[in-house]
Structure 1
Amino acid sequence: MRVIVRTVSELCITVGTLIVLFVAYVLFWTGVRADGAMSDQIDQLHRQWSQGSVPKKDTPGEATASVNDPGPYHYGKAFAIMYIPRFGFTWNKPVLEGTGRDVLAKGLAHYQGTAQLGQEGNFSVAGHRRTYGDPFLDFPELRVGDAVVLTDGTTWFTYRIDKGPYKTVPTDVEVIDPVPRKSGYTRPGRYLTLTTCDPEWGHSHRLIVWAHLDSTQPVDTGEPAALRR
């Protein structure tokens, strides 16, 4: 009996240790790796942009400014940086093409097949709420009128949130349609959709916000008003 009790106790200790190590990995190590990966992606973008490697092909844009066509996006490659002042003026994350697990571990993920940045349609982006750097941890704090600012190295794109956070289920794929049915939009436009998981430590639901392109301006004119403190 003593041997059985000791064996069971040792097994419990081993299992408990493994659980603690797993939780530490999920909470800490994935965050450390993701923060490093996101910083590397942003540094790479800044280097590319400083070398003038962003294609510039003007297309008709909104009355506020012309919008550049960046050419095709490539899976797993960063092409823009997102800023959300509501999350703090130091918050910025890279946006990469594709929504695979490997991509989401390095930043925010652009849904393939949705509109490109600044173009007509629905530019749709996903991000983790928890783990891998917690990029969208404060997603529920977003409010109507908040700015979501992105740059592709040549242009600043300022979107303004019109609706959300809206709670739905993962199978509700209509949220990233060109004109999302539940967004309140009734005609084609230049829209942005952000998505993340809900609840904070689960994935049974999704939180959504929808925004419209409010203004654009060339990068060489300085930061947009939404990013000025």
Structure 2
Amino acid sequence: MSTLDSGDSPAESPVGPGQGPVSGDSDRVRSVVRGLGELLITAGLVVLLFVVYEVYVTDLVSAGKQREATSALEDTWKAGPPEEERVDHFEGLGEGAGFAKMFVPALGSDYAFTILEGTTEKTLEVGPGHYQGTAYPGQPGNFAVAGHRVGKGAPFNDIDLLNSCDAIVVETRFSWFVYRVMPKKDEAGRWAEKASDPRCKGVAPLGAPYDEVVGQEIVNPRDSSVIAPVPHRPGAEGSVGEQVTLMTLTTCHPRFSDRQRLIVHAVFVQHWAKDPAHPEFRPPELKETS
């Protein structure tokens, strides 16, 4: 605070020898500090606004796009020509086309997202995207799906909370496919303790060449081997008939960063064919909510 700010007049505040320049320097320092403080406050507000936009505004925008994608998918299922064999066909899907729905009961009874074809940024702003070239629901190999963890709908925000044997249910036009999260790395040696859980039927550590596949892992973002037909061993897929039917979810890790990738692997355990006579049927696995 300067002498004028204290209420003293210049005559009442004599300045001793050499004090004038010091007072001037002090004022300049205060001005610089004040300016720097204002700059930091402004920068902080800008960052805060960006975070609000990235986390909340993009969520609202993506939620609207996801609703539109779900509505379009349901219309396609209703309007599509009847198929006597009632078998799903996924040929010719264009980037961004919805073709299935995904439910994760452990993350809530309202967890449901339409899965779209492709993993471009535009597609992932709408919802989870299928890695082109990987298997489709229920097919041998690896049905791999990517999703945002923060903002843009954040469909995979909480997949780190999934435990072994938790169900991932995928709905297509004619079927329900049930996958369950595989044993985590620290569970493999003591799986017998959990195998008695009814939800774990069909789930167990896999043998070679799948012995490196676990329920959850964190990898380098350039490690594309996690979505190979045999994760981590892209050259060991063998014939389709020999492949295990898997589902893999990928997202950024940690939150607010793309430094790594969080991976969840699940194995196919149950198929429910839709019955036109009972359109209200829903798999019992959908009731396994937390």
Structure-2 change in CA distance of 1:190 and 1:56 (3 Å): farther
Query: In 2, distance between residues paired with 1:129 and 1:91?
Result: 14
For the Cα contact (< 8 Å) 2:118–2:132, is it kept in 1? yes
Which of 159, 164, 167 is the equivalent residue of 1:139?
159
Which of 39, 50, 64 is the equivalent residue of 2:78?
50
Q: Which letter does structure 2 place at the counterpart of 1:139?
A: I
| Structure exhibiting the larger radius of gyration computed from Cα positions | 2
> Which deviations, in whole Å up to 9, do the C-alpha atoms of 1:79-124 show, x marking residues without a partner?
1110011111110011111111111110001001111222222110
> Which deviations, in whole Å up to 9, do the C-alpha atoms of 1:140-179 show, x marking residues without a partner?
1111111111112221111122232211111211111111
1:228 is displaced (CA, Å) by: 3.1
Going by fraction, where is strand more abundant, 1 or 2? 1
Structure-2 change in CA distance of 1:164 and 1:36 (3 Å): same
Counterpart mapping for 1:1-229 below 5 A: 1=28, 8=36, 11-51=39-79, 53=80, 56=83, 58=85, 68-162=88-182, 163-181=214-232, 187-220=242-275, 221=278, 222-228=281-287
Structure-2 change in CA distance of 1:6 and 1:12 (3 Å): same
Structure-2 change in CA distance of 1:118 and 1:72 (3 Å): farther
1:226 is displaced (CA, Å) by: 0.4
Q: Which letter does structure 2 place at the counterpart of 1:86?
A: A
Structure-2 change in CA distance of 1:209 and 1:11 (3 Å): closer
For the Cα contact (< 8 Å) 1:67–1:119, is it kept in 2? no
Query: In 2, distance between residues paired with 1:72 and 1:14?
Result: 50
Structure-2 change in CA distance of 1:204 and 1:223 (3 Å): same
For the Cα contact (< 8 Å) 2:105–2:287, is it kept in 1? no
Tell me the secondary structure at the aligned position of residue 68 of structure 1.
coil
For the Cα contact (< 8 Å) 1:55–1:71, is it kept in 2? no
Query: In 2, distance between residues paired with 1:196 and 1:120?
Result: 23
Q: Which letter does structure 1 place at the counterpart of 2:45?
A: T
Aligned residues: CA RMSD: 2.4
> Which deviations, in whole Å up to 9, do the C-alpha atoms of 1:14-44 show, x marking residues without a partner?
4333222212111210111111111221122
Structure-2 change in CA distance of 1:8 and 1:54 (3 Å): farther
TM-score (structure 1 length as normaliser): 0.85
Query: In 1, distance between residues paired with 2:132 and 2:255?
Result: 25
TM-score (structure 2 length as normaliser): 0.68
